[in-house]
Amino acid sequence: MGDTLETLKSDLFAAPFCEGLEDTHLEVLLACAHEERMPKGRFLFHEGAAADYFYIIVSGRVGLELNCPNRGGLSIQTCDAGDVVGSSWLIPPCIWRFDARVLEECRLVSMDAAVLREHCKADPTFGYAMVERIAQVKAERLDAARLQLLDLYGNPEEGRHVARTRID
């Protein structure tokens, strides 16, 4: 049992999400953390369900997908070791916006977000630290989404997305 706790602790604390957190905050997170393994193909969560937990990937790969009738699950982004899967738990209405599907068998730290939310409300310093980290995750995804939207590797002769002033 001790071994498992030690592994969980080192997996959790090694994640970029925990970088720079105070010890007391780390203890709070550890108390809400569980080690999980998920086989390929399993869904971590589905769009529309209550976001009462989230994951930190220790190893493996998870795809964030939107399901589209007749096209199946459209993958928006993949998450790999060190990445946080799920940020809706901190942002009302705390409902998942995507499906998360395991693409390669995963070892995960799952976090009890319902409890963490209560901690956030009770301790604004802790709450701020969580918001800061989730904002970081959101900002990186937004940057990435913007770059994807630009279709940088597309043929510039086709579909020019950016408004331009043409003269001559």
Partner 1 sequence: MFILEPDGFEKILDSLREKGYRITGPKLRDGAIVLDTIDSAASLPRGVRDHQGPGRYRLEETGDDSWFSYTLGSDSWKKLFFHPIKPLFKTTRDGGLLQIEPEPPREGLKALIGVRPCELQALAIQDKVLAEGEFVDRHYVASRKGTFIVAVNCTVPGGTCFCVSMGTGPVADRGYDISLTELGSNGATRFVARAGSPHGEELLAAASSGKAGESDLQLEAELLEAAAGNMGRSLDVEGLAAALAESGDHPRWEEVAERCQACTNCTMACPTCYCHTVEDSTDLTGSVADRTRVWDSCFTADHSYLHGGSVRETRGARYRQWLTHKLSSWHDQFGGSGCTGCGRCITWCPVGIDITEEAQAVRGTARG
Partner 2 sequence: MSPEPGSINLTDRIRGGVDPMVPRIYNVERIRRNNHDTFTMELNPADGGNPEPFSAGQFNMLYIFGVGEIPVSISGDPVQDGPLMHTIREVGTVTRAMARLKPGDSIGVRGPFGSHWPVELAVGTDVVIVAGGIGLAPLRPVIYQVTGNRSRYGRMVLLYGARAPKEILYQRQLKAWGGSFDMDVHVTVDRGERGWNGEIGVVTGLIRRAPLDRSGAIALICGPEIMMRFSAQELLRRGMDKDRIYVSMERNMKCGVGLCGHCQYGAKIICKDGPVYRYDDIESLLGRREV
Which residues does 150 contact at the CB level (< 8 Å), separation at least 6? 161, 162
Could you say which residues in the range 55-94 bind partner 2, by CB under 8 A?
61, 63, 72, 74-78, 80-82
Question: Judged by CB under 8 A, how many residues of this single chain contact partner 1?
Answer: 9
Among 1, 71, 72, 157, binds partner 1 (CB under 8 A): 157
Among 2, 23, 153, 164, binds partner 1 (CB under 8 A): 164
Provide, for the chain, the percentages of residues in helix, strand and coil under a 3-state DSSP scheme, each rounded to the nearest 5. Answer: 40, 30, 30
**Contact by Cβ (8 Å): 44, 66:** no
Pick the stretch among 21-29, 86-94, 114-122, 153-161 that binds partner 2 (CB under 8 A).
153-161
Q: State how far Cα 18 lies from the chain centre.
A: 13
Binding site for partner 1 (CB under 8 A): 155-157, 160, 164-168
